[in-house]
């Protein structure tokens, strides 16, 4: 099968994005949050966990620790037990507490609103920063700095032929080159929903997928 030209790949990417917007017009993060601090903590907890588990945990967590100040001084062992069900609880407890302390020490207890400063927070890499910024900061202006690439986005983008990469940072760069900035939040959320509902890890549901005719994996199978 001949290698797809960059122009053809971009045209297909634009059509994929259009279909995703039509199929998932209200695509948003599945995490529950009321402010940027809550979204940041929830996103850190969501690593290697599910949104359903995290949402159950944070319902009580934020009642006890509603601010960075409250979370920073929480008893570590008690905090570990409160987030136990999210997995990797010791590492996550340390990350959210050290992040909370840094917010207090350097950002007046507030979550920074740009990528450069977000990446200085412990436990925050580009995926987490993109989720927080895109959902809580840039969603009204579409002035996104990147695309959140989780395991679903990485898998689905590769299967759709939008990238040949498997490293999340490189996948993000490929998607950013193919799609207009204003679509970066929506395409990430759309690919996540597609990955959960149709393009699952074990057995993709090609028959009911809204992108079946645009998927090169289907065309060559």
Q: Mention every residue, 6+ apart, whose C-beta is less than 8 A from residue 173.
A: none
**What is the tens place of the pLDDT at every residue in 4-38?**
788 899 999 999 999 999 999 988 999 999 999 99
Whole-structure pTM value: 0.93
pLDDT at 219 over 70: no
Per-residue confidence (pLDDT) for residue 140, from 0 to 100: 86
Residue 100, number of CB atoms within 10 A of its CB: 25
Active-site residues, by number, are 127, 150
Report DSSP state, residue 134.
Answer: I
**In the Cβ-directed half-sphere of 181, how many Cα atoms lie within 13 Å?**
8
pLDDT at 1 over 50: no
Q: Are 62 and 38 in contact (CB under 8 A)?
A: yes
Mean pLDDT for the stretch of residues 42-51: 96
Which domains are seen in the chain, by residue range?
6-27+146-219 (1.10.1670.10), 36-137 (1.10.340.30)
Torsion from C-alpha of 44, 49, 53, 59, nearest 10 degrees: 0
């Amino acid at each position: 099968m001949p290698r797809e030209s960059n122009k053809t790949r971009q045209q297909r990417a634009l059509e994929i994005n259009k279909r995703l917007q039509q199929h998932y017009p209200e695509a948003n993060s599945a995490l529950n949050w009321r402010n940027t601090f809550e979204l940041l903590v929830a996103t850190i907890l969501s690593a290697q966990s599910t949104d359903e588990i995290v949402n159950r945990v944070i319902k009580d967590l934020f009642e006890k620790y509603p601010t960075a100040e409250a979370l920073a001084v929480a008893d570590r062992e008690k905090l570990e037990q409160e987030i136990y069900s999210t997995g990797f609880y010791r590492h996550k407890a340390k990350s959210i507490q050290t992040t909370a302390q840094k917010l207090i020490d350097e950002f007046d207890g507030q979550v920074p609103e740009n990528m450069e400063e977000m990446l200085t927070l412990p436990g925050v890499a580009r995926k987490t920063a993109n989720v927080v910024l895109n959902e809580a900061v840039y969603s009204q202006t579409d002035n996104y700095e990147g695309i959140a690439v989780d395991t679903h986005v990485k898998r689905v983008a590769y299967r759709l032929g939008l990238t040949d990469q498997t490293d999340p940072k490189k996948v993000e760069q490929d998607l950013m080159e193919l799609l207009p900035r204003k679509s970066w939040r929506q395409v990430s959320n759309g690919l996540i929903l597609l990955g959960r509902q149709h393009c699952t890890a074990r057995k993709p549901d090609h028959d009911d997928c809204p992108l079946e005719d645009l998927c090169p994996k289907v065309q060559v199978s």
